[in-house]
Amino acid sequence: MKFWGTRGSIPVALDSATIRGKLTRAIVAAAGKGLDTQEKARAWVENQLEFSVSHTFGGNSACVQLDAGDKEYVLCDLGSGVRVFGNHVVARDGASKPNVYHVFVSHLHWDHIMGFPFFAPAYVPGNTIRIYGCHKELESALRRQQDAPCFPVPFHRLGASIEFVTLEPGRSYDVAGWSVTAKLQAHSGDSYGYRFVRDGRVVVYTTDSEHRLDDPSAVEAAATFFADADLVIFDAMYSLAEAVSVKEDWGHSSNVVGVELCQLANAKHLVLFHHEPANDDERIAQIWQETLRYEEISRSGESLRISTAYDGLEIEL
């Protein structure tokens, strides 16, 4: 799994003040460590420096790649992270090598499709881009965001062969070696999670999903969808208090509910995803640590591994 975009709602850029703050903290932390070569400094940054100083959680809006080593690419969502992914592929394969891309779109809110006009492979004849989703407006939404006056290149001018495939929730499809099943989720205008299965490995991509705790059947359905997953990529945008009060019905979930659902489902690894744009790196790192602690407190069986997504994160299953 490769995470190309992990921020919720809107991309967030590091500003100069934040970078200066990180540098200042790093320099103070490095004092007396004898880091007099690039190699020593790099190793110390990688292994010793506080995570929220040495990293940023990003960044770009949602885009995650499932990489099973195939020639064809499989992605979830077309947030701004897909621009970076596209540039990476072009740099690695060259612009002229034809590729096939399979993209599963959770929903059509802007942060989940905004990267497509900047997805370089879409401009290259010979490429095939197959976009899957459960919304009947899937194609019109992607076309519309490139209409004037919003974007200078209309959708019909894109060079790649672009196909749209409407999926039926609850039904399994075989795509690029994966068995994929979509599930309806609670979100404004609906969203869909995807359960990917291949060679006994299970990955669940479930973003922009609110879990109503007062509905046991919904909780059970979510646990079934997550069942025995090796990895659950989970919308943990809000705190639990926010999610059940001022931000109830805003269509997102919390770290606490993510832990509880994964424990209920016997999932192995939870990845906190779709970070709140208002949260800085320190805050997200704090939420991560708190989530680790909540998992300890609430654990009744096997331990659940917990990560927090950042742009550039790779997880091997």
Partner 1 sequence: MHITQEHHADALVLTLAGRIDNSTTEGLKAGLDAYVATCQAGGDRLVLDFSKVEYISSVGLRVLMLAAKQSREQGGTIVVAALQPVVREIFEISRFNLVFECFGTVREALAKVSPAGLAAYDAKRGT
Q: How far is the CB of 159 from partner 1 (least distance, A)?
A: 48
Q: How far is the CB of 308 from partner 1 (least distance, A)?
A: 14
CA distance 52 to 280: 9
Q: Is 316 in the site for partner 1 (CB under 8 A)?
A: no
Q: How far is the CB of 294 from partner 1 (least distance, A)?
A: 5
Q: Which of 46, 199, 214, 314 binds partner 1 (CB under 8 A)?
A: 214
CA of 271: how far to CAs of 7, 207, 308, in Å?
13, 11, 5
> With CB under 8 A as the contact rule, which of the stretches 140-148, 202-210, 248-256, 271-279 interacts with partner 1?
248-256
Q: Is 217 in the site for partner 1 (CB under 8 A)?
A: no
Neighbour-count burial of 168, counting CB atoms closer than 10 A to its CB (0-12 exposed, 13-18 middle, 19+ buried): exposed
Q: Are 206 and 232 in contact (CB under 8 A)?
A: yes
Please identify which residue in the block is written with the tokens 């945008």.
237
Q: How far is the CB of 107 from partner 1 (least distance, A)?
A: 24
Q: Is 218 in the site for partner 1 (CB under 8 A)?
A: no
Q: Is 256 in the site for partner 1 (CB under 8 A)?
A: yes
Q: Is 278 in the site for partner 1 (CB under 8 A)?
A: no
For residue 118, the Cα-to-chain-centroid distance in whole angstroms is 18
Phi/psi of residue 60, each to 5°?
Answer: -80, 155
Q: Strand 231-235: give its sheet, edge to edge.
A: 172-175, 178-185, 191-198, 201-206, 231-235, 269-273, 305-308
Phi/psi of residue 183, each to 5°?
Answer: -135, 135
Q: How many CA atoms lie within 13 A of 132 on its CB side?
A: 21
Q: How far is the CB of 306 from partner 1 (least distance, A)?
A: 12
Q: Which of 14, 294, 305, 317 binds partner 1 (CB under 8 A)?
A: 294
Q: Is 282 in the site for partner 1 (CB under 8 A)?
A: no
Nearer to partner 1, 179 or 245 (CB): 245
Q: Is 237 in the site for partner 1 (CB under 8 A)?
A: no
> With CB under 8 A as the contact rule, which of the stretches 85-93, 143-151, 156-164, 234-242 interacts with partner 1?
234-242
Q: Is 60 in the site for partner 1 (CB under 8 A)?
A: no
CA distance 33 to 40: 9
> With CB under 8 A as the contact rule, which of the stretches 35-43, 190-198, 251-259, 277-285 interacts with partner 1?
251-259
Q: Strand 73-76: give its sheet, edge to edge.
A: 2-5, 63-66, 73-76, 100-104, 128-133, 161-166
Nearest to 309 by CA among 276, 282, 275, 260: 275
Q: Is 245 in the site for partner 1 (CB under 8 A)?
A: yes
Q: Which of 99, 128, 145, 239 binds partner 1 (CB under 8 A)?
A: 239
Q: Is 242 in the site for partner 1 (CB under 8 A)?
A: yes
Phi/psi of residue 314, each to 5°?
Answer: -125, 135
Residues 73-102 that bind partner 1 (CB under 8 A): none
CA distance 153 to 85: 20
Size of the site for partner 1 (CB under 8 A): 20
Contacts with partner 1, residue ranges (CB under 8 A):
213-214, 216, 239-242, 244-245, 254-257, 260, 290-291, 293-294, 297-298
